[in-house]
Structures are given as structure tokens and as C-alpha cells.
Amino acid sequence: MRHYFTSVVLCSVSVLLTGCGASEQTAQDSAGAKGRQAALERQIQERNRDLALQHFINGAVLDSQGDHAKAILEYQDALRYDQDPAIHFAISKDYSLLGKHALAAQHAREAVRRDSTNISYRENLAQIFLNAFQVEQAIREYEAILAIDPYNESVEYSLARLYQSTKPLRALEIYDRLLDRAGEKWDLLLHTTEILSGLGRWKEVAERYQRMIELDPSNRNLRVQQAEAFARAGEMEKAVGILLGMVERNESDWTVVAALADLYLDQGEFQKAIEMYSRLLTKEKDNPEVKLRIGIAYFGKIQSDSSFIPRAQSMFDDVLRLTPTDWRPHWYLGAIASIQRKDSLAATYFTRVTELEEKNVEAWWFIGTHYFDRGNNDEVLKVMERARRALPSEARFFFLTGLTYSRMQQSENAATYLEQALKLKPDDLNTLSSLALTYDGMKRYSRSDSLYERALELDPDFHLVLNNYGYSLAERGIQLERALDMAHQAVEAEPDNASYLDTLGWVYFKLGNYAEAKRFIEKAIATDNASATIIEHMGDVIFMLGQKEKAREYWQQAFELDAKNELLREKIARGSL
């Protein structure tokens, strides 16, 4: 037994010793395998980098030859071996050159993601966004660059240009910071004057012009603009002083003399203005621009003194003779004809304006409303179609087209054009009101009510909407107390408006207060502007008060005004509501 145990123990020790020796050998083998694996991976990485580099070089060569499409294929092969951000950057630039902005942005974003502090990558992405008219995204990239490099002047300048139309104060802040660092620079000062002018800060505009004059003392246009800025700031003495000094130095500079004359006219110093204009006529008797300026000055006085009409007219006739293809004299002659109530002549002049300058909004508008006021619906539609082609973003042209279709009782067409007008000008009360009334007539009450509510949010006292909405609620027999309040407000705004008086009476009718209904509808009829509907309402009220024969008389009178009203015909035949 003892020998057996001993042999077992020795065997166990032997196995243990043998096992330890095997483990050490296995660890050594494993370490060697890992080393060999790491070496192999390094070799593969180096090989991949070499292959990526070769494809990248091939792409760069193709780019230098202008073959950007093939260059992209090489760069894409490079990406198979290495996702270096420089490759994505190169691809994005080529896609941008090919006008494929979405793909360009995709790779530019990837380059930025892989190296977010690389300014060139972010500038590239910003430029791609600008090419695709995605201004807000470009702004975000420029702001990110400034977070990395706060003194990057080119990026600050680009950002200020983008801010100029949407965030002028932010743009002004950046331009001023650049001026503080770089000193007086013409382009920076010019941008700040543009911003300050848009903000109406005319005194500061004049100060900026002074800084620009110090850079270019001989620039006469700057001095004229500075004078105009002082005038707008209410500092007339400074404005006159600048222009007088310029006239004294050069009496033949007719633009300065004209500016001084205009300034005197604005101040009400008519004799001084006439003296300047006379001087202009002496020196520039055949200059159409001088005559136009004088004509415009005379035109400005017509509203207060009609004796200026022939003088203005004479000047514009001369301009027309000298420059028959200039739209401006046609415009002013048309305006004068309109003031004189010679609407057909005015329309002729304004039509010529649209032929010479199709972007003139007011000329198109005058012609359209001229035909609209005369009930010539077909001409309105023709003129507005041409106007919309010339100026597709002008809401008024869609509005007038919608009104015309509404008057022609083509509600679907009316709604289509009024919706487009509202899209272009979402807060226009006239469009909201007209579109709401159109949908109301189509019994699309959900849409009409939302439009009425929107209009009242913008102007709670808009009496036309108060009247129309109140009448609509009354017709449907809902929210009658609110409808009554609306109708009262409308009548308070226009106490002699027959439609408003009728609405108030009709709401009382719906509430069962026939005495008050009769009182207000009688007032509506007394205005002598009573429609067939108002007279019919009076018949309904009288009927409810028990005067059935008198009611039939009112209904018959209403039918004579609206013989197509079949419901009214049936009411008369029945002799009852």
C-alpha cells in the first residue's frame, strides 16, 4: 500500500511539473504569435497606406487635368484602403465642382467629423452649403471656425456678409471689430454705412461717410451722400453747408446743384429751390436727367398745389421727347393723368411702363386695378398673368387675381390664387379676410374660421373681419353671443355701413330678438345701400313679427334685385319662411 501511494504521489508531481513546463512553452508561443500578428497588421497598414497614397496621387493628377469625375473614382479607391479625412476633403471639392452639392456635403461633413479642428475642411463645408443656398448651415460652420481661431479675419468677413441681411447688428459688430484691428478700410466702412442706412441711423451714416472721405478726399459722390445722410438725420444746416460748398467750388456740377435744389424743396424753401432749378435749366437745358429731376420736384408739390401740374407735365414731356425709351417719364405722366382722373390715359402710360420696365410693380398694379374697378374681369386676368410672370413673388398680383375670380363666382380658382398670395405675405389682413370669406362661401368652415381667427390675432379691431365672421357664425347658429359682440364692434367702427348694420340685425334675429333685429335692419335700408339680402332679411324679421303680407312685399322687392335666387322664389310662393 505504501509503495502504491508513493508511486501515485510521484506521478502527480511529475504531471504537475510537466504541466508547468507546457504552460510556459504555450505562453511563449502565444507571445510570438501576437508579435507576428502585429507585424503582419503593420505590414498590411503600410501596404494599404501606400495603395491609398497611390490612388490619391492618381486622383490629384486627374484633378490637375480637369477630369474631376475620374479623379473621384481614384479617391474612392483610396478610401477602400484608408479613411483619411484628406481623401473625403478631396472628393467633396470635386463633387462641388461637378455641381453635386449633396454628395459634396456628405464627404465634407465626414472630413470635418474625422478632423473637427481643421479649418480648411470647415471652410470647404461652409462654401458647399453656400453653393447649395443653405446659408444657416454655412453660418454654423463659420462660427465653429471662429471658436477655433477667433482672429480669422477672412472668416469674420464672410460671416459678417452673411449676417448683413438677417442679423445686421451682429454684422455691424463684426465689421467694427475688423476696423479696430485692421484700421480704416474702404470696403468695411462701406458695408457699415449700408447697415446703418438700413437701420435708419443717419447721423452715424454721416460719420462713416466722413471716415470714407478722409480716405478719398476728392470723391464728390461721398460728400453728396453725406449731405443726404445729414438731411435724413434732421441736420439740415450741415447738409446744406456741404452742398453749398461743393456748388461754390464747381457751379457746373449739375448733380450737386440738383441735390441742393431738392433739399431746399424738402425744407419748403421754394424760392431757393426755384433758383437752383433755374440755374440747372440754364446750364443743362437739354439734359434729360436734369429735366427729370426738376419734373420730379414739381410733381412732389402737386398734392399741395395743383398749379404745379402743367410745369411738371411740361418737364416730363421734354424728357419723353429726349429719351422715348426711358420708362420714368411715362410713369410720372401716368401718375399725373391719374390725379386728373384721366384713367384711360393713365393706363396707356402705365402699360408703356410695363413694356419698358417689366419689374415696375406699381405700373402693373395700376393697370390691373384700373380694369378691376371697371368690371373688366377678362382684362384683369390677362394683365395679372403677365405681371405674375414678370414678378412671381409679388403677393398683390395673386391677391387681385383671386378677387377677380371671386367676383366671377369661381370660388376654387379664387381660393387657389388667394392661398398663393397668403403664402407670399402670411400676415396680410386683406388676403386673410378675402380668403376666409371665399372658404366661408364654399362652406369650408374649418379653414375659414382659422383664417378669421388669425386675422383677429393680428388686429382684434379689424371691423371687416368682425362683421364677416360674426355673420358667418350667425348663419350657422353658433357662438351667437360672440357674434353679437363682433357685430356691435363693427357697427361702432362704421355706424353707417349697411352691411354691418344688417349683420347686427341678423344676429339679433338668430337670437330671437326680432324688435332689435328690425331696428338695425331698418337702419341698414335707410342708408340707401341696401342689397337684396338686406331687404330679404327685413322680410324675414317682419314675418316673425306677424306681418306676413308686409313680409311678402319685402321678399318680392328683394327678388326684383336678385331674380336668380331660387330659395327666395320658393319663399315667396310659400308665403312663409
Please check whether residue 319 is in contact with residue 292, taking contact to mean a CB–CB distance below 8 angstroms.
Answer: yes
Task: Using the 3D structure, point to which of 258, 285, 312 is the last residue of a domain.
Answer: 285
Q: Domain total for the chain?
A: 2
The dihedral of CA 237, 242, 246, 252: what is its sign?
Answer: negative
Comparing C-alpha atoms, which of 559, 556, 517 is closest to residue 538? Answer: 517
Residue 556 has pLDDT above 50, yes or no: yes
Q: Which three cell numbers stand for residue 190?
A: 462701406
pLDDT-derived band at 24 (thresholds 50, 70, 90) equals low
Sort 342 into a burial class: Cβ within 10 Å, 0-12 / 13-18 / 19+: middle
Q: In angstroms, what is the C-alpha Rg of the chain?
A: 40
Q: What pLDDT was estimated at residue 403?
A: 97
Task: Using the 3D structure, point to which of 285, 305, 330 is the last residue of a domain.
Answer: 285
In a domain, residue 220? The reply is yes
pLDDT tens digits, 63-103: 899 999 999 999 999 999 989 999 999 999 999 999 998 99
pLDDT-derived band at 32 (thresholds 50, 70, 90) equals low
DSSP string across 474-535: HHHT-SHHHHHHHHHHHHHH-TT-HHHHHHHHHHHHHTT-HHHHHHHHHHHHHTT---HHHH
pLDDT tens digits, 265-307: 777 787 788 788 878 888 777 889 888 888 888 888 888 889 8
Q: Which three cell numbers stand for residue 242?
A: 456741404
Residue 57 has pLDDT above 80, yes or no: yes
Task: Using the 3D structure, point to which of 285, 312, 340 is the last residue of a domain.
Answer: 285
- H helix and E strand count, the chain: 31, 0
In a domain, residue 260? The reply is yes
Report how far residue 200's alpha carbon sits from residue 232's, in angstroms, rounded to the nearest whole number.
9
> Chain-centre distance of CA 531, in angstroms?
40
pLDDT-derived band at 425 (thresholds 50, 70, 90) equals very high
DSSP state of 83: -
3-class DSSP assignment, residue 216: coil
In a domain, residue 525? The reply is no
Residue 201 has pLDDT above 80, yes or no: yes
3-class DSSP assignment, residue 358: coil
Residue type at 543? F
Q: What pLDDT was estimated at residue 438?
A: 97
Residue 559 has pLDDT above 80, yes or no: yes
Q: What pLDDT was estimated at residue 444?
A: 97
pLDDT-derived band at 33 (thresholds 50, 70, 90) equals low
Comparing C-alpha atoms, which of 335, 329, 295, 332 is closest to residue 315? Answer: 295
For residue 305, CA distances in Å to 258, 277, 308, 346 come to: 21, 18, 6, 20
Can you tell me the mean pLDDT for 138-166? 93
End-to-end CA distance of the chain: 129
pLDDT-derived band at 116 (thresholds 50, 70, 90) equals very high
Please check whether residue 108 is in contact with residue 86, taking contact to mean a CB–CB distance below 8 angstroms.
Answer: no
Sequence-ordered alpha helix ranges (H) in 115-201? 119-131, 135-148, 153-166, 168-182, 186-199
Residue 13 has pLDDT above 80, yes or no: no
pLDDT-derived band at 16 (thresholds 50, 70, 90) equals very low
Report how far residue 343's alpha carbon sits from residue 348's, in angstroms, rounded to the nearest whole number.
9
Report how far residue 450's alpha carbon sits from residue 456's, in angstroms, rounded to the nearest whole number.
10
In a domain, residue 272? The reply is yes
In a domain, residue 568? The reply is yes
Of 140-154, 227-241, 391-405, where does the model show the most confidence?
391-405
Segment 457-460 long-range contacts (CB within 8 Å, at least 24 positions apart): 458/427, 458/429, 458/432, 459/429
Report how far residue 369's alpha carbon sits from residue 490's, in angstroms, rounded to the nearest whole number.
27
pLDDT-derived band at 4 (thresholds 50, 70, 90) equals very low
Q: What pLDDT was estimated at residue 408?
A: 96
pLDDT tens digits, 485-505: 999 999 999 999 999 999 999
Residue 261: partners with Cβ closer than 8 Å, 6 or more residues away: 272, 273, 276, 277, 280, 293, 294, 297
Comparing C-alpha atoms, which of 300, 334, 301 is closest to residue 317? Answer: 334
Please check whether residue 434 is in contact with residue 403, taking contact to mean a CB–CB distance below 8 angstroms.
Answer: yes
pLDDT-derived band at 1 (thresholds 50, 70, 90) equals very low
Residue 227 has pLDDT above 70, yes or no: yes
In a domain, residue 332? The reply is no
In a domain, residue 91? The reply is no
Helix axes 254-266, 220-232, angle to 10 degrees: 0
pTM comes to 0.60
Averaged confidence pLDDT in the chain = 90
pLDDT tens digits, 339-390: 999 999 999 999 999 999 999 999 999 999 999 999 999 999 999 999 999 9
Structural domain that includes position 553: 533-577
pLDDT tens digits, 209-223: 999 999 999 999 999
CATH number at residue 269: 1.25.40.10
Please check whether residue 389 is in contact with residue 354, taking contact to mean a CB–CB distance below 8 angstroms.
Answer: no
In a domain, residue 35? The reply is no
